[in-house]
Structure formats: C-alpha cells, structure tokens
Structure 1
Amino acid sequence: MASATSSIPAVYTPSQKSSSSSSKSSSYEAYAPRTSKQLSRLARIAALTAGPTAPPPTKQNASTFPTLSEAMSPPPPATTQSQTTVGPKNSNNDLIEATLAQTYATADHLTSLIKHSTSLRLALRASINITEDLSKRHSELLRHSSELSAAAERLQAEETMLTQHAEEIGMPLKHYDAVDRIGILVGVLFKDGGRTVVRGLAKLKVDNDDFAEVLGKIDDAVDFFGNECGGKEVLELHGGKDAQHSSGSLEYYRRAIVLQEATLFLIQEAVVDRIKQTSSDVQAVLKLPRVPIAADKLEASLVYTRFHGISSRSNMLLTIVRKRLHRSESYGELLTLCRNTYCGARETLLRNTVRAHMDKLKDQHGLVGMTRLASVFLIRLCTVETALYLDFFGDSQKRQKSTSENQDGGEAVVMMRGDTKKKTANAPAAATLASQVMSEDGTYHDAEFQSHLSALCSALHRTVRRGLVSVADLDTLCQIVSVLREERGLANNSPTTMAAARAISTIIEDAQERLIFCANAALNKEVTRFRPTPSDLDYPAKLLGTSTTTPVGGTANTGNPSPTTPPVNASSESSGASNDAVQAQLRVYEAWFPPMRSVLRVLSKIFRVVEPRVFEDIALQSVQSCTKSLKEGSAVVLQKAGVIHADLFLVKHLLILREQLSPFDIQLRAVERQLDFSEAGKAVTRFLANRNRRLFSMSNENALVTLLREGVSVQESSVDSKRDLEDALRSACNDFIEHTSTTVAGSVFEFVEHCKQGSSAVGGGSLKDKPCMEGEYVKAVFTYTLDQLPEKLSEVTQQMSLYLENPATQSILLKPVIRKISRAMEDARRFIGESVDGEHSWNTELRAEVLKTMHDIESSVKNAALKLSSR
C-alpha cells in the first residue's frame, strides 16, 4: 500500500513541473497537500484503497509490459477466483475481496498508463528539442548563405569594374593595333614614320566575309583618333599639312584616314568601275548609240541582262556603304559617285533608243496616236528602270520580305479567281516585279535617279513639242491634251512612275499653251476681226433656205474645217429619218451668225482641256466680241430687211448664246487693271523742279517714291460679260416689242400720242379743239388699223416663227406687245370719252361704232396671241 502511494507522486517530476510552467498550464504541485491534516487524510485514503502489492517485474513478465496503445485501451475485466463458500457468513468477505482485486487491477493499469504517458512526453520533448536545434541551424545557414551571396555580388561587381577598366585601358591599344595590322590587308604601307604612303595590291577582297568587319574597325579607329583624341581638330587647325607630329594620335588619325580611303577605293573599283566596264561592253556589242535597239526587244537585251548580273554584288557593297553614312562624309560621297555613274551609264545606253522609238511612233501613228503609245512605253520604261535601280541601291531585306508577301498574295488571288496554270506560273514573277517597284524603302526617290528618269522622259517632250509647233487644228490639240491627261492619271497611280507623270504634265502645259494660242487666234480672226459677207447677213432668206450666195462662214472659216459639212460616220449611213434629223440640225446650225457659231464651237472644244480660269477668261473676251459683232450685224440686217428682222435677228442669237453658255457654269466676271500715265508728265515736272529731292532718304519724302506714287496710278474696272449679255438681250427684246407694237397699231399709238400732247400743252386750249379729235378722223384711224391688223399680225407671227423655233418664246415676246396695245386702247377710250356730242361731228352712233372697232382690234390681237401659244 505504501509502495502504491509513493509511486503516485513520482509521476510529477521537476522536469514535468518546468514543462508545465513553460506551457502556461496548471500543475499538480500547485495544489499538492502540505498541511498535516491533509496528509493524514491522504494516508487514510491510501490505506483504505490499497490493494495487493504488485510483484516486481521479472524476465518472464518483462515482455508482457503493456505498450502505449495497450495503456491507452480500457482495462480488461478483473478475474476473480471462485471460492466455494458455504454459508452466509463468508459472502461479505468474498465481496470485499472482489472489490479489492478490482481496485488493485485498476491501480496497476493506471500506473502503467502514467508510466507510458511519461515516456511519451519525454519522447515528444526530445523531438521538440531536436526541431528547435534544426531551426537554429537552418537560420544560421541562411545567414551564412546571404553573407556569401553578398560577397559574391560584390566580387562580381568588382570583376565587372575591373574588366571595364581593363577594356578602357586596352581600347587605344586595340585601335593602334588595328591601324598597324589592317594596312597590309588593304595594300597600304607607311614609311619614313608615316610621311610616305605606298600603295600596292590589297590582300583583302570586297567579297570576303570579314570585309565589313575590317571596315568597321577602320571606322572605329577614325572616330577614336579623330574625336576622342582630338586628331581631327589638330589636323583642321594646321590645314591638313605641315603639322608637327606632336602626338601619336594625330599620326594614327592620318593613317586611319588613309586606310579608310583605300578601303573605299576598293568598293569604288568593285562598283563604279564595274558599272563603267559593263556599260562599255554593252555598247561595243550592241553598237550603241549608233544602232538603236528595237523597243520590243529592249527588256531582253544586254542593256538589262548584263546589269542584272552585276546587281547582286553591287547591292551588297552599297548596302555596307549605306549603313555607314553616319560614320563619315566619305561614304556619302562614294554613294553619290556610284549613283551618278550608274545613272550616266543607263542614260548613255537608253537615250538614243528612246528617242528613235519616239520618232518611229510619230511617223507611224501621227501625233495623237504617238502620245498614247509613247506614254505607255515611258511608264513601262520607268517601272523597269526602277526595278533595276532597286536591285543596285535598294534594301534587299525589305525587298525580299515584300516579295514573299506579294507572292503569297498573288498566288492566293490567282487561286481564288480560278485562273489557268499559266497565270499561276506567272504570278510569282509579277509579284517579284511589284515588290521591287513598290518597295517600302524610298530608294527610288533619290534625286540622281529621278533626274535620270526625267532625262529619259524628256524624249517624249522633245518629240511632241516639235510636232505641236506645226499643229493649228483645235480638234487635234484637244485630242492630244485628253490623251495625255488619261496617261498622266495612270502614271500618277504609282510612285515609281512620277517622272513620266511630270514629263507628261509638262507636255500637257505646252499643248494647252498651243491650244490657247490657236483658240485665241481663231476667235480673233473669226469674231473680233470678222467682216461679214452678204451671205452671212442674208436674213430672212438664210432662214428660209433661199440664199444663193456663198455658204455660211465666208472667209471666217478659213483654216478650219467647215462646220456645215456633215461628218461621214455611222449616223450618215443610218435610216432616212435619222438623216433628215441630222440635216435639219445642220441647217439650224448653218443659220447661226458665223461669229457666234465660232465662239460656241471653240468654247465647246476647249472647255474640258484647259484650266477653268483660262477658259473663263477666253469665254469672257469672246462673249464680249460676239455681242458686239451681233449688234453690228443687226444694224446691217436693219438696212437690208427692216427693223423687225433686225430685232428678231439680235434676239434670236442672243438667246442662243445665253442658252449655249449655261452648261459651262461660268461667271464671266473679271477685274481689269490698267496703268494710268495721265499724271506722269506733271509728276516728272515736279520731280525735276524739286531741288531737295532726298534721293537716299528712307521715308515718304523721297522724291523717287513720290514720282512713282503720283506719276503712275492703277485703274480698276469690273467686267461682267454675263450681265452685259443680259442687258443686250433685254434691250433687244424691248426694241422688238416697241417696233412690233408700232408696226401692228402704229396709227393708234400716233393718235394717243397726239392726244397726250394736246392735253398736256400749256396754254394750248382744250383737247376738243385739236384736229386729232375729229370724229371722222378717229373713225378712219381705228378702221384702218382694224383692216390692216390681220395682215400685220400674220406677218409678225410668221417672222417670229422663222427666227424663234420655240412657241413659248414667241408667246413671251408677243404678250408685252398685246399689253402695250391694250394700254393704248384704254388711253384712246379715255380721250374719246372726253369728247362732246355735237362737236367735231361726234354723236352717240359714231362713238359706239369707234368703240366697237377698238374692241374688235383688241379681240383680234388676243386671238392671234392665243393661236400662237396653242401651237
């Protein structure tokens, strides 16, 4: 019992107490019994609950010591020995013994559990200690690793800095070594301390792969010795000669320059000399320029095949030069030399061939056909020349990229459209040419190459200009301008054919200049200086078709095809109705006054082929001259046929002129400026009389300034031909209305005028005293007017129908005549109403008869107007 009691406190060891206190949990020692009373009670409990003492473990039962899992499992039921007791006096002892046995078994089980828990706690504590130790070691490892990394980075930075310092220290030596070593490669030897330069054969070839690298080293040496070491400034300061060798950098700068020149000379030999030699060989083989090449064989001739053969190597070298343009001016000079040499060689090979082809086209097809064919030829020539130029000077990488893209696109389009195999096979070639022409780089915009293309295209300008000088036909000139404009539009579609477009534009300007000159000459001859013949003003016989004199136009159409001759075309071979319509239209056209016909013909021809401002200026002057000529012609018709025919002649032609000018949509306005020298004499006199002239004074008091300001003035005047035309037409219509009214009812107007004069006369007495108010006289006036009215109206309407084909126009002109006659009748009624019966033989019957006659006159005039408007 004592052993069991003593074994319980043994579970709570000091380590357990420290562990419990460290984990911040309550321990057994905090509540352990300490007083004597508590200890006595605990002893009594131990005595009551003590069971049989467990035997010490032996070797036999050591293996049966419960494990941790067995200790955690519930205890098995206690086994009791059945004792056969007899009698009720032993039952209590059996119960006590069973209870004690169970208590002992439970205590033993708890003891084993406590032991196993203690061992488990110790093992767990050992694991925690090991883990903490590993964590501390890991932290130390991380700290040492970071220190090592920082040290490694510091060492790497120091190594980089030292390497950079080493390179900076060795950089000058690198350039010195390069100058000394490369001299032999490019065939340059320096003797007498560099003062003597000996040139020989170069070991380095421009086709070698390391040529660009060697050239780069030379450029680096030139930059180093020239800029960083100041050799360039020193050399410029001493003028490039007689400089003291004060430093090695200056001497090596000179040597680097010599090496650079020698290297560029190798490129020059490989490109410039090769181009010259190829051009000479082609000229010798083809006997150029004495024998021109046929245009259809030009692209397949040696002129292109030989140059295509040397283009790849030349492009490689020129690409090297182009990439180094920023390094030195020598590269730019070399590239310019190559371009000029190339363009000169190409121009020498092609110039005579192009000119011969232009002359041949002119001889075979005439000037109009030649302009179209020659323009197409030049556009094609510019395209091919641009492709060849890009092979020499273009960017090969961009061109190859564009070629692949265009080939893919071209093949795709061909496949989508379902073209034949032949078209599919030709698609890559077309795509290649398109990629060359439409390359992304703007190499073909070089000034030298564009000048070369302009020189080739100038052959067209030379040939056409010589032909234009001898052309005076407006139709031919208009056709030339129209054809050239179409071809210029095609040339402007591609940036590679802008040279052809510029040449065509120059020819268009020359052709327009010639056209304007010929148009002005024709208008001046046929309008301004026109002298009409009797047949030109044979009206109305000319409208009736009974003129037997010279055909329309007279001398005004000299030098131009007669517009009266119907052209021989498909319309002349059509049906009879169509021929009749054409002949009727020609007769109408022939009836026009020649100056107006010339103006409309010339303006209609040049409207689409000259600039709008030029056309408007020509139209303004021609309309002014035509209006003046029509007025002069009207005066001649007045003398020959009478006033009505003269008025209708002027109205007819002015209406036609206004109608035909309306489609042109022009304003016909201008401001004319003229120098007025009327005050020049007085200004010169004041200048000579002024002794204080102050000729060198920079002010308004300078005598020269005063002379120029006061002596010459600018007079401006506004010219509006359209307004003048409208005024002339309005005046002609008013004259026709006035003259027609007088012709139809002249006696009535005369009677009304006498009555007005009599009534307005001062001190002249009453109107009834005038002789014009005699009743019989008034009756005779209106009776005569009524009798002559049908004949007069019929004559007027026939004349109007003869000159004016549109009934609406006739009605518009006749209505003012009717209104004027009606107003005259109203005035006559008013005057007749003032008469008194019994005086001057007036009575009611006579007045009624006169009023009835007046009513009949008005009715006849209105009926004639209605018949005219109903046509």
Structure 2
Amino acid sequence: MANSSSSVSGSGSANLPRSGAVSKGYDFASTWEQNAPLTDQQQAAISLLSNAVLDRPFPIPLTLLSQEISGQDNGLSLSTKDNFLEHSGAIQAVMVNTHQFYKWFSELESSMKSETEEKYRHYVNTLTERIETCDGILYQVDETLHLFNELQLQHQAVATKTKTLHDACDRLLMEKQRLIEFAEALRSKLNYFDELENVATNFYSPNMRVGNGHFLPLLKRLDECISYVERNPQYAESSVYLVKFRQLQSRALGMIRSHVLSVLKSASSQVLAVIRGNGAAVSEGVEASVIYVRFKAAASELKPVLMEIESRSSRKEYAQVLAECHRLYCEQRLSLVKGIVHQRISEFAKKEALPSLTRSGCAYLMQVCYLEHQLFDHFFPSSSEDVTSLAPLIDPLCTYLYDTLRPKLIHEANLDFLCELVDILKVEVLGEQLSKRSESLAGLRPTLHRVLADVHERLTFRARTHIRDEIANYFPFDEDLDYPGKLERSVETLSGTTSPEENADVFKSWYPPLEKTLSCLSKLYRCLEPAVFTGLAQEAVEVCSASIQKASKLIAKRSSPMDGQLFLIKHLLILREQIAPFDIEFSVTHKELDFSHLLEHLRRILRGQASLFDWSRSTSLARTLSPRVLESQIDAKKELEKNLKSTCEEFIMSVTKLVVDPMLSFVTKVTAVKVALSSSNQEQKPDSVLAKPLKNQAFATPDKVAELVQTVGVSIQQELPKVMAKLKLYLQNSSTRTILFKPIKTNIVEAHLQLQSLLKSEYSDEEMKNIGIVPMQDLNAQLDNLL
C-alpha cells in the first residue's frame, strides 16, 4: 500500500507543472526552513505524530471481510453487510476459489487506489490552485520589486544629481571664499603701496610738525611699508616704491633731527641768558638750578620722539639718527659746561698742591659727570648704559683735568707726593667713588687710568733716580761712618725706653742708604705693579748691599776690621729682615746684545778667510752682523744671603783667631813637626833634630805651653768680653747674638780639646798640671756667662 501510495504520489507529482511559482515556493520553503528552524520541542512533537501514524489500519470493508472469513470454518465464500456494500460501492460476491479471491482482491485494490488517489488528486488540485495563486502573487511581487528597483535606481540617480549639485555648490562657495580671501589679501598688500600717496601728502603738508600727534603714527606706518616692500622684492615696481618710501623716511628723520636741534638750542639759549644775567661768576647752586633743572623741560618735550627712535635703533637709519641726536646733545651741553668746568679746575690748580688738586679735581669732575649722566638719562633712557654715547661730552671735560695735572706730574720729584697721588687715584677715586656709581662715572674711568699710568711712569722714573742718586751714588759723611760711636750715642738716647725697636730714633743708627732703600721700597710696594716693583726692588737691594759693603770697608779702615764686619752684618740682617714681607721674587733676568764676535769675523773677512757675500755659510754678512743675546739672571736676595753668610764666617774666624790663635798656631806647628818627623823616619835619618820628643822642642817645652795657655786664658777673660760687648752693641737681638756666638764657642772649645789631646799623648801628668789647661766644663761655663 505504501508503494502504491508513493507511486500515485510520484505520478501525480510528476505530472505537476514546473512553473516559476513552484520553484519560488520551494525556494521560499527552503529559505523559511533556514530562517525559521524548529525547536527541539517542536521536533519531538513531530516525531510522536510520525510514530502514531506509522502503522495504518486496514480499510473498514477489508477489516469486516477478514472477520467474516475468519468466522467460517468451511468454504471460501465472502459476504458483506448491506450497509457496508452500499457505502463502499462494492459488489457482493461469493469467493469459492482462489481465482475469485484474486479477482476480488484486485478490484478491492483498485477501489482503494482510486479512493487514495482521489484524496491526493484533490490535494494536488488544491496545491495547484494555491500555486497558481502564489504565482499570481509572486508575479505581482516581481512587478512590485521591479518597480521598486526602478524607483531605487531613480532615487540613486536623483541623489547622485543632488550630491553633484551640492558638491558643485560647495566648490563654488569655497571658490568664492578663496576669491574673497585673495581679494582681501591683495587689498591688504596693496594697502602698503597705496599708503605712499597718503603718507607723502601728510609729510609734505605745511602743517605737519614733529610735535604733531599724527607724525609718529605716520612714521610707524611708513616703517611698516618699507619693511613689507623690503621683504617682498618680487612684486612689480617694489624697488620704485622702496626708493620713494625711503625718501619720505629720510625727510621724516631730517625733520626729527631739526626738531631735536631746535629744542636743544632753545634750551641752551635760555640757560646762557640766565648765566649772562648773573654775571661771569656762576655759583654751584646756580649751575644746578639753571644748567640741569631747566634743561629737563626740553627732555619732556623731546622724550616721545627720542623714545620712538631708541625703540627702533636696531634699524640702520634710526641708529644713525640716534647717534646724530647724541652728538647734537653733547655739543649743546659741552658749550654750556666747558667754560664752567675749566674755570673750576683752574681755580683748584691755583690754590692747591698736586695731591689736593688731584683729589678736588677728580671729585668735582665726578660730580659733573654724575649730573650729566642723570640728565642724559632723561633724554635717552635706553642709551644711557652705553658709555660711548656720552663720550663727546665727557672726554673734553676730562681732558681739562688731564691737561692741568700732567704738567705738574712731569715736574713732580717728591716720591711721597707721587705715592700719595697713586693712593688718591687708586683707592679713593677708582676704588671707592667709581665702584659706588660705576655706571654714571664709567666715562671718567679711561682718563683716570691714563692719569694713574702717568703717575706710575713718573714714580718709576723718580724711584730709579732716587736709587741711583741716594743709594748707589751716596757719598757718606763722617758721622755716617762713626761706628761704633754712633751706636753708643743711640744707646744712650734709647736708654729710657723698654724696647729700642719701638722708638723712631732707632733708624738714626742705620746707615742712610739702608734707611732710604727700605723707606723707598715700603712706599713703592703698594703703588706700583708687581712686575715694575720687582725690578726696582731687585735693583734697590743690589745697590744698597753694595753701598753697605763699601761703607763697611771704610769703617774697617777708620775704626777696626771687626767694626766693619759687625757693621756689615748688622745692616745686611736688617735689610734681609725688612724685605722679607715683600711677596715678590728678587730674581731678574737681564738680556743684552753681545757684539764681541763681530771684530773677529771682520778680521777674517779682511784677511780673505771668509766671504762677505756668502749667505749660506756661518761667516756671511747676516750672521756676522747679528748680535748674540746673552741672558743673565740675578737674584738680589740670594746675593744678600751669600754676602751675609761670608761676612759672618769672616767675623767668626777673626774672633776665633783673636782668642785662641796661639793654640791654633801651636797645634798647626806640632802637626807640621809630626809630619816632618814621619818623613825623616821613612828616609832613615836618626840624627835629625826632628827625632827629639815634642816636649824637648824649643817651642813646645812645658813652660812655653803653659805660657800659651795663660795667654789664651787672658784673651778669653779680657778680649772676648770686649768682643761680646761690641757684638751686643751692634746686634740688639739676643737670639741673633746667640746664633753668631755659637760657632765661636765651638771653635774655642775645639781648640782646647785639640791641645788637651796633644798634651795627653806627649806630656806627663805632672807637666800637664803645671801647664794649667782649663777643664772643659769650666771653659763651657765661662763662655756661657759671656752671653
């Protein structure tokens, strides 16, 4: 039955028309299945329904027939009920054989197929009707979609045209804006060129003045036009416009210069009128009230214009005009104050000495410069820091002071005055006054440095002259060489003081060149540059040391050699002590040209041994005439130390010989005898007189030795105290005396030790006792007591 049903269905479906609607229906069902899937619950319900209809029951007629057949035991006849047969349309039949059954079954099967196909045919007809309906609907939908697509295409076309129109409008608006901006930019650029006529009309107007309120704005606009044209030389006729603009600028700047000059001259005329009304002599109060206070009114009138010029001074044209205004201002101010300044400085020069003149002149000139700088700052506030701006006014005023001081400086010979001038200029003026008001007095500094340089030059010259005349060429008087009498008188004068070094009279005991040297160096140390002072100090110490040595020789001849030595030691010690605080090197390198080889070369050339024109050899004319540079380094301090050391050694040896010379001579003679005796023994001359023992020698008998010891003892007791007294007279410092006496004591003790050692080896104890040599302990105590 299933197969028949499926065949019917298949045949029915095979005969269905395959229209576009059916295909779209299938496509729609497939799309529907994809877009609307069943849930699990729905699928479970479908499965239950499928299971329920899986086993189809037999048709009712067949069921009844089977029941009747099963109810008969014999026979194959089949009878049906009337109502069933009527209802089913079947024919009553009695089946007695198999053929009848098959026939009946065939009919029944055909009937059932017809019944089943009718239902499906009805279903197919229904589906066909519905398909046709759907085809109509789909056709309408297709038409609608087609219309919709056409509408969409039309909409897109309209939208495209609309967008194109909008874009065109936007482009037009942008083009319009760009053209407007271009026109405005062109108009703004042309404004700079159009300003030429406007500015020219105003500047050439007879009513235009610098003081007019429209002048400065027009000048500013003119500068803007010039700057713009300079930045854009590519524009047509820009060079022509630039020339015309510059002509207008030159005219405007010329008007400013004339206006400044007119105002300054007017102010100067007013001041001169007041000064003439007060007479020739103008007091300082009138100067302050007239020359400075009244001139500030002119500054108020010119200040706006001058400030504008200063603000644009970075441009070349305005810098030139500003410099011209500075020059005009300085000329007018100089014409007013130069006579007064010259008069004041001349009055100072007539009344005061050089130091006072320098102090008063510098103070007055600094006051003038300070007031002038303040007034200049009222006119040119931005230019007042530049020192060169006010130089045409300050330099001539400073020249008056310099011209007044220089002649006096050239003729000044007093070192004290010159040193005082250095202190005034270096400490008071440059150090104190200028440091407080450095900006306002900066213009005065070059002149003050120039005056100070002249003072240094004059001071250096006078110092060298002083060293040469007062130290190197000093001719001593008799009282200068009166040693030790001069010291004795000084001790009597200083006997009432506790510290002789603190009394000023102590310098009177010095040799004058020493006092002059130290006084000169102490004055020059703070006044000269270190390099200049070093050269002068080296020269002064050198010539002072030579002068002291020369004087010591004269004193040695006049008094005694010991006085000459002590005089030299005393003054060299003082010189060394006094120059120690000077923080300089006393070493100076001297360079000189040596032409000593020139004569020998010329002789060789004259003899024909060398050629005059041989430029390749060492004997050429160039080499022959070239001098040799000889360098020599002199250290005055080392030379001083060397002279002091040698003098101290001479003094020590002279005192040693004075006291123990007999002992030294005896020891020397004994040494010579021993050497001669040793030589005679080697030559095997036993009969020589030298072979006798030492104590048997005529000069070395115990009596002679005792006499020698006694003589030395007397010298220690009598001569050595005199030496120590003289040493104390020349050298007041006890430590210095101790240092100088220590080697003398060592020499005396050493002489006694040598003699004692010699006596122990050559003389008996009895003979040594008779000789009476002093024990070393007693000798040391005796010598220590002398200090």
TM-score (norm 1): 0.65
Picking from 549, 554, 559, the partner of 1:641 is 559
2:249 is matched with which residue: 235, 260, 263?
Answer: 260
Q: 1:676 aligns with which of 574, 588, 594?
A: 594
Q: Which amino acid counterpart does residue 642 of structure 1 have in structure 2? A: S
Structure-2 residue corresponding to 1:295: 284
Q: Which residue of 2 aligns with 1:785?
A: 712
Cα 1:26–1:361 change in 2 (3 A) is: farther
Structure 1, gaps ≥5 residues long = 1-20, 40-145, 188-200, 232-246, 396-441, 549-563, 567-575, 838-842
Q: Are residue 315 (structure 1) and residue 303 (structure 2) matched? A: yes
Residue 822 (structure 1) aligns with: 749
CA contact (8 A) 1:595 1:626 kept: yes
Q: Percent identity?
A: 26
SS in 1 for 2:506: helix
Query: Partners of 1:156 and 1:687 in 2: how far apart?
Result: 106
- 1:226/1:685 CA distance change after superposition, 3 Å: farther
Mapped to 2, the partners of 1:269 and 1:648 lie a distance apart of 85
Q: Deviations over 1:406-452 (max 9, x none)?
A: xxxxxxxxxxxxxxxxxxxxxxxxxxxxxxxxxxxx64215231353
Change (3 A) 1:272 1:788: same
Deviations 1:690-728 (A, max 9, x none): 778488xxx9999675355xx301101111111111111
Give ranges in structure 2 of 5+ residues lacking alignment. 1-33, 53-162, 681-687
Q: Measure how far apart 1:159 and its partner are.
A: 5.9
CA contact (8 A) 2:601 2:619 kept: no
Residue 278 of structure 1 is matched in structure 2 by 267
Aligned to 2:374: 387
Q: Distance in 1 between matches of 2:669 and 2:167?
A: 133
Deviation at 1:809, TM superposition (A): 1.5
Q: Give the direction of change, closer, same or farther, for the CA distance of 1:517–1:289 in structure 2 (3 Å limit).
A: farther
Whether contact under 8 Å (1:737, 1:816) holds in the other structure is yes
Instruction: From the superposition, tell whether residues 683 and 185 of structure 1 become closer, same or farther in structure 2 (CA, over 3 Å).
Output: farther
Amino acid paired to 1:352:
G
Instruction: Quote the residue 2:640 is aligned against.
Output: 725
**CA displacement at 1:834 relative to structure 2:** 4.3
The residue identity in structure 2 corresponding to 1:344 is E
Aligned partner (choices 484, 488, 496) of residue 425 of structure 2: 484
Counterpart of 1:495 in 2: which secondary structure?
A: coil
How do 1:54-453 and structure 2 match up within 5 A? 161-167=178-184, 169-170=186-187, 173-187=190-204, 202-223=206-227, 228-229=232-233, 251-287=240-276, 291=280, 293-298=282-287, 300-327=288-315, 329-395=316-382, 443-453=384-394
Partner residue in 2 for 1:455: 396
* Deviation, structure 1 residue 516: 2.2
Query: Aligned in 2, Cα 1:625/1:155: closer, same or farther, shift over 3 Å?
Result: farther
Deviations 1:208-267 (A, max 9, x none): 343233223433444566674479xxxxxxxxxxxxxxx965554443332222111111
Instruction: Describe the SS at the equivalent of 2:209.
Output: coil
3-state secondary structure, aligned to 2:780: helix
Which amino acid in 1 is paired with 2:562? I
Which residue in the other structure is 1:514 paired with? Answer: 458
1:863 corresponding residue in structure 2: 781
Task: Tell me, yes or no, if the aligned pair for 1:630 and 1:653 is still in contact at 8 Å.
Answer: yes
Q: Give the drift of 1:808.
A: 1.9
Q: CA deviation at 1:668?
A: 0.8
* Offset at residue 744 of structure 1 (A): 1.7
> What amino acid sits opposite 1:506 in the alignment?
R
Deviations 1:302-346 (A, max 9, x none): 22123211213323212322333455x332222221111111222
Q: What one-letter code is carried by the residue in structure 1 that aligns with 2:407? A: R
SS at 1:722's partner residue? Answer: helix
- Residue by residue, what CA displacement relative to the aligned partner does 1:732-753 show, whole Å, maximum 9, x if unpaired? 1101101111112222222222
Larger radius of gyration: 2
| 1:807 matches 2:731 | no
For 1:212, the aligned partner's letter is L
Q: Could you tell me which amino acid in structure 1 is paired with residue 720 of structure 2?
A: L
Q: Secondary structure at the match of 2:261?
A: helix
Superposed displacement of residue 373, structure 1? 3.7
Equivalent in 623, 630, 634 of residue 706 of structure 1: 623
CA distance in 2, matches of 1:848, 1:37: 172
Aligned partners of 1:815, 1:22: CA distance in 2, in Å? 136
* Mapping of residues 399-798 of structure 1, within 5 Å: 443-486=384-427, 487-490=429-432, 491-493=434-436, 494-545=438-489, 585-682=503-600, 693=613, 705-707=622-624, 711-761=626-676, 763=680, 765-766=690-691, 768=694, 770-798=697-725
Counterpart residue type for residue 659 of structure 1:
E
Structure ranking higher in helix proportion: 2
Q: Any idea what SS the aligned residue of 1:663 has?
A: coil
The CA deviation string for residues 377-421 of structure 1, in whole angstroms up to 9 with x for no partner, is 3333333222222222224xxxxxxxxxxxxxxxxxxxxxxxxxx
CA contact (8 A) 1:205 1:211 kept: yes
Task: Call closer, same or farther: CA 1:203–1:750 in 2, change over 3 Å.
Answer: same
Report if aligned partners of 2:374, 2:440 keep a CA contact under 8 Å in 1: no
Distance 1:272 1:813, change over 3 A: same
TM-aligned CA distance change 1:495 to 1:262, over 3 Å: same
Q: Per-residue deviation at 1:792? A: 0.7
Residues of 2 paired with 1:680 and 1:157: CA distance? 99
User: CA separation of 1:172/1:803 partners in 2, compared to 1, >3 Å: closer, same or farther?
Assistant: same
Structure 1 residues 703 and 725: CA distance shift in structure 2, 3 A: same
The SS at the match of 1:259 is: helix
Mapped partners of 1:23, 1:282: distance in 2: 116
The residue number in structure 1 matching 2:69 is: none
Identify if the C-alpha distance between structure 1 residues 451 and 267 changes in structure 2 by more than 3 Å, giving closer, same or farther.
closer
Return the letter of the residue paired with 2:294.
Answer: R
Q: Which amino acid aligns with 1:706?
A: R
Shift of 1:756: 2.8
> Per-residue displacement from partner, 1:591-622 (whole Å, max 9, x unpaired)?
11111111011111222122122222111111
Which amino acid in 1 is paired with 2:303? N
Q: Residues 294 and 353 of structure 1 are in contact (CA less than 8 Å); yes or no, is this contact kept in structure 2?
A: no
Equivalent pairs counted in the alignment come to 632
Which residue identity does 2:328 align to in structure 1? Answer: T
* Matching residue's letter, 2:306: L
Distance 1:176 1:546 in 2: 101
Looking at structure 2, the residues matched to 24 and 641 of structure 1 have their Cα atoms a distance apart, in angstroms, of: 153
Cα pair 2:728 2:737 within 8 Å, conserved: yes
Pairwise CA RMSD: 4.1
Kindly indicate whether the alpha-carbon contact (under 8 Å) linking 1:283 and 1:289 is maintained by their aligned counterparts in 2: no
Aligned to 2:6: none
Q: Cα distance 1:152–1:660, how it changes in 2: closer, same or farther (>3 A)? A: farther
Residues 816 and 27 from structure 1, CA distance in 2 versus in 1: closer, same or farther, beyond 3 angstroms? same
Amino acid at match of 1:508: L
